[in-house]
Amino acid sequence: MPPSVLSSASPFAPLAPPANALLQAIFASSDDAIVSITLDGIITSWNPAAERLFGYPPDEIVGGSLLKLIPLELHHEQHRILERLRRGERIEHFESRRQRKDGALLFVALTISPVIDETTGEIIGASEMARDVTHDRLMRNARAWLAAIVDSSDDAIISKDLNGIVTSWNRAAERIFGYKADEIVGRSVLALIPPELHSDEPIILSRLRVGDRIEHFETVRVRKNGERIAVSLTVSPIRDVSGSIVGASKVVRDISVQRDAEVIRRRLAAIVDSSDDAIISKDLSGVIQSWNKAAEQMFGYTADEVIGKSVTLLMPPEQAKEEPMILARLARGERIHHHETIRRRKNGELIDVSLTISAIRDETGRVVGASKIARDVTQQKRDERERILLLRKEKEARARLDFSLSALELGDWTWDAATDRMTISDRTADIYGLPHGVDRRRETLRELIHPDDRAAAQAAAEHSIQSGTDYDIEYRINHPTGERWVVVKGRPQFGPGGEIVGMMGVVQDITERKSVEIELRESRAKLQSHAAVLEQHVAERTAKLRETIGELEAFSYSISHDMRTPLRAMHGYADRLLRIYGSKLDDEAQHHLQRISANANRLDLLVRDVLAYSRVAKADIQLAPIDLNPFLAELLPTIPELQREGVTLNVHGPLPTVIGHQAYLSQIFSNLIGNAVKFSAENRPAHVNIRASQDTGHATITVSDNGIGIAPEHFNRIFEIFGRVYADKKYEGTGIGLSIVKKAVQRMGGQISVTSTVGEGSCFSFTLRTA
Ligand code: ADP
């Protein structure tokens, strides 16, 4: 209803109702509150609508100030209005706020007109018509809000009519699809649907027509640039005031990112699960929140056993103090990289781990926890320690090797078959007269070898490679300072398939040794030629000597032999003189004749023995096996000494068969038995024993007696020619007997010795080979 001008002659109009009945009716039945006021703002009339609107009955308000209806903060407004009214101005559609009796605030639209006294033409008051616009106002606000929401939504919000024509298009739709509102409004939504999905649209539209709402329908749409995007649609029908469906609103959410995020989340979860590293998350108080499979394996706890417990569970007591430090660093937003520490397994075992810890933040960026990647580095640590140990050992070995090489003045070298490079040590370079630190081909080194030795050196190396054996060769090299000698030893190196991969070896300068060797060889050659000359001389002299000796022997033999005939004649004639003419001679003449006979006899014995010795010494003999048993049985009866009275001889048989010579053996036994009887003790009868003992290949034969014995100082002398203990006449003899025995034993390859005790007896032992 348009506000109307209500004129009133009286300031107390309601008490005096207007004369005009029509106006009266309007006043009473108006939907708008109609209030009259004085120019001071005092209420003078109050219609029923005013009572409904503001809650005051007329008797409570008429005569009171209009300010009662106006919120305090708007009182100034009222003053300005009254001023304008006084100037005769009319105020139309002025929106303001009013307060009801119950305190509620109302939005009102006011139309205020001055009331003019018809007679005086003076402004005497005003009528104020107020309409409640609270609902309109709220609706308007709501629409504005809605528009703002639609505009600021991250989802595309699109409306379309039932023919599928786009009717509205928000900012997010622009962003998601790339069309500006004016490019798409009025066009078919098919522009947004990929051709292969066009058939979906009629189905959606038919569902909408029956009032269905389609929620979170995941499908694909096309952007203006043709790109496809994954979207989630929620489509709701739009109804008009009458409730009939006139279109649809569509909320389109771009879920490509979300879908990517989901894929990433799943992928991450799979990675976490399949990771070999333990991945653990905890909150800021150190309480474990998640626990992957590798963590179960590494620490021995299942997820159920540890989630909700403190991470200190995994720390050995001495490491637990780390945790507050770690938490403090995380709270500061630091990331901890490869922190190496020790953790404890469920079974108490300690393990070396490397931790990488990152803060977990919520969407506002606040640190709320930490994720921890733990890698078991126990083995790695062990390997590391072993590697260091190995390196140290290697270094030591290298140092030892270097020392040995330098002490032995050896240079070392390696040859790599693949590259044909020789790597040579500084000493090797020095030996060859090359600069240090330069690797070279095998061929270039070979060229340094003396041309005469080159082929042999190469052959030795090739043979070594072929046979897999070490090589060791000496050759000359052309050193810048002149020719030098080196010895090179090498060992081939083979790969797993038996292929040659290289060689290594040592080299030594042997020039000095070589020159000494050469000198030595020359000296030896000289010496040998001297020796040969000398030997020649010796041989010549020996031959001469033999000749002379032979001559002398023959001479002495013939002298000795020839001496016996006149000696025997002298002896014979002396004996005949004594026998035939003895009685005619005086005693002195007889005595002289006896002396001649005895001395001739003695000289004959001497000559006989000398002859015997020289026979034994010189004769060429043939040795043969001789059984001593029959031999002695035959010999013993011919030994004159054994025929003497009181003499006994015992042979302790059986005796061995020896390798010997009949005549020599006769000489030996005759002499030893003769002496045993000759040197018997005066006070007891002579008793002689012959014994034999046998060893492998040898026999020792002893002839012992119980005679006068021999003092040890004479043991050697008695075996010499003319060596005797007693020079007197008590014991006849020439002193040659034992010399003959010794010589005979020696010539049969044996040895003789004596043991004796003076006054008790002697024992002569000699050895012979047995058959
Ligand atoms: P001869 O018997 O002619 O003196 P031998 O050469 O046979 O010469 O002996 C040298 C010396 O050895 C003897 O003179 C004697 O003094 C001593 N002799 C040898 N055989 C015995 C023995 N069986 N008992 C003691 N003395 C002995």
Per-residue pLDDT tens over the stretch 227-240? 888 888 888 888 87
Helical residues (DSSP H) of 275-302, grouped into ranges: 293-299
8 confidence band (pLDDT: 50, 70, 90): very low
**Assigned token pair, 667:** 């000489």
19 confidence band (pLDDT: 50, 70, 90): low
* Chain-centroid distance, C-alpha 708: 91
606 confidence band (pLDDT: 50, 70, 90): confident
pLDDT tens digit sequence for 87-110: 888 988 888 889 999 988 888 999
Ligand 1 atom 13, closest CA:
724
668 pocket-lining for ligand 1 (C-beta < 6 Å) = no
Q: How far apart are CA 624 and CA 634, in angstroms?
A: 18
**Mutate-to-test residue for ligand 1 from 721, 738, 740, highest number of ligand atoms within 8 A of CB:** 738
User: Cβ distance 193 to 231 under 8 Å?
Assistant: no
CA of 674 to the centre of ligand 1 (A): 9
CA of 676 to the centre of ligand 1 (A): 8
Ligand 1 atom 19, closest CA:
675
Beta carbons within 8 Å of 288's beta carbon, 6+ residues apart: 280, 281, 282, 306, 307, 308, 309, 310, 311, 313
Q: What is the length of the chain? A: 771
**Assigned token pair, 609:** 């023995």
Ligand 1 atom 23, closest CA:
676
| 634: helix, strand or coil | helix
735 pocket-lining for ligand 1 (C-beta < 6 Å) = yes
**Assigned token pair, 409:** 């003045």
Beta carbons within 8 Å of 309's beta carbon, 6+ residues apart: 287, 288
pLDDT over threshold 70, residue 447: yes
User: Cβ distance 231 to 250 under 8 Å?
Assistant: no
Provide the mean pLDDT of the chain: 87
710 pocket-lining for ligand 1 (C-beta < 6 Å) = yes
The H-or-E segment that residue 367 falls in is strand 367-376
pLDDT tens digit sequence for 250-293: 888 777 766 776 777 777 777 777 778 888 888 888 888 888 88
CA of 691 to the centre of ligand 1 (A): 20
| 16: helix, strand or coil | coil
**Assigned token pair, 420:** 């044909």
CA of 653 to the centre of ligand 1 (A): 26
Q: How far apart are CA 372 and CA 323, in angstroms?
A: 12
737 pocket-lining for ligand 1 (C-beta < 6 Å) = yes
| 2: helix, strand or coil | coil
680 CA closest ligand 1 atom index: 24
- For the question of whether the overall pTM of this predicted structure is more than 0.85, the answer is no
CA of 690 to the centre of ligand 1 (A): 18
pLDDT tens digit sequence for 24-67: 777 888 888 999 999 888 999 999 999 999 999 999 999 999 99
Beta carbons within 8 Å of 394's beta carbon, 6+ residues apart: none
375 confidence band (pLDDT: 50, 70, 90): confident
450 confidence band (pLDDT: 50, 70, 90): very high
718 pocket-lining for ligand 1 (C-beta < 6 Å) = yes
CA of 729 to the centre of ligand 1 (A): 13
Q: Which of 14-28, 237-251, 438-452, 715-729 comes out lowest in average pLDDT?
A: 14-28
